[in-house]
């Protein structure tokens, strides 16, 4: 690695739909609706994966895991993150920390944030205090504010693996 540390950003959004489980950061959240998508539509893990890939200078998840590939139909996004970590490890890199904003008008996620952080930390093999999860409403504005979708923004920093 030419630099002592690297940073990357990831963003994703999925529509809320009836008849789907809501899975955020690998944690199933009790809610009447869930996110629609080809995989399990885990908007948080998708943003985290892109942040890590971006920091590593690798292609994004859309390139690595095409959403028209039957292999990823209803796929557990935890498997996707594990594959991202395998590729990052091949480059001699490890995750230092991840900071996450979940943009969700509903449900309220205050009680779930630490469980989500713990789930992500286990997937990317860092202590739980190196994953920070924030949840924000969109103040009732636009599609996010009308709870038509949930979005996630994530930043990751990588360091040389020891
Ligand atoms: Mg996605």
- Domains of the chain: residue spans and CATH: 5-160 (3.30.1330.50)
Can you give the pLDDT at residue 6?
A: 96
Rounded to the nearest angstrom, the distance between the alpha carbon of 2 and the centre of ligand 1 is 30
Can you give the pLDDT at residue 7?
A: 98
Can you give the pLDDT at residue 71?
A: 77
User: What residues flank ion ligand 1 with Cβ within 5 A?
Assistant: 12, 46
pLDDT of 26 above 60: yes
Percent of the chain with pLDDT over 70: 99
Cis preceding linkage at 15, omega within 30: no
The b/e string for 34-65 (b: 16+ C-beta within 10 A; e otherwise) is: bbebebbbbbbbbbbbbbbbbbbebeebeeeb
> pLDDT, tens digit, for every residue of 76-127?
899 999 999 999 999 999 999 999 999 999 999 999 999 999 999 999 999 9
C-alpha separations of 62 from 72, 79, 121 in Å: 11, 15, 23
User: Could you tell me which residues are beta bridge partners of residue 34?
Assistant: 17
Rounded to the nearest angstrom, the distance between the alpha carbon of 60 and the centre of ligand 1 is 11
Rounded to the nearest angstrom, the distance between the alpha carbon of 102 and the centre of ligand 1 is 13
Rounded to the nearest angstrom, the distance between the alpha carbon of 162 and the centre of ligand 1 is 31
Rounded to the nearest angstrom, the distance between the alpha carbon of 81 and the centre of ligand 1 is 12
Q: Do the Cβ atoms of 90 and 124 come closer than 8 Å? A: no
Rounded to the nearest angstrom, the distance between the alpha carbon of 133 and the centre of ligand 1 is 18
pLDDT of 1 above 70: no
Can you give the pLDDT at residue 2?
A: 63
Average pLDDT, the chain: 94
Residue with tokens 């991840």: 98
> pLDDT, tens digit, for every residue of 33-46?
999 998 899 999 99
Q: How many residues does the chain have?
A: 162
Rounded to the nearest angstrom, the distance between the alpha carbon of 46 and the centre of ligand 1 is 5
Which H or E run contains 69? none
Can you give the pLDDT at residue 115?
A: 97
Rounded to the nearest angstrom, the distance between the alpha carbon of 91 and the centre of ligand 1 is 24
Percent of the chain with pLDDT over 90: 86
């Amino acid at each position: 690695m030419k630099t002592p540390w690297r940073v990357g950003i990831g963003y994703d959004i999925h529509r809320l739909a009836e008849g789907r489980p809501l899975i955020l950061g690998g944690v199933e959240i009790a809610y009447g609706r869930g996110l629609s998508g080809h995989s399990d539509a885990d908007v948080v893990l998708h943003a985290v994966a892109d942040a890590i890939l971006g920091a590593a200078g690798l292609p994004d998840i859309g390139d690595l895991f095409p959403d028209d590939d039957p292999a990823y139909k209803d796929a557990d996004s935890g498997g996707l993150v594990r594959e991202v970590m395998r590729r990052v490890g091949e480059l001699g890199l490890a995750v230092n920390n991840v900071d996450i904003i979940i943009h969700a008008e509903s449900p309220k996620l205050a009680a779930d944030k630490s469980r989500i952080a713990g789930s992500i930390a286990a997937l990317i093999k860092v202590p739980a205090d190196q994953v920070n999860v924030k949840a924000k409403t969109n103040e009732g504005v636009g599609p996010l504010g009308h709870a038509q979708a949930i979005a996630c923004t994530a930043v990751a920093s990588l360091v040389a693996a020891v």
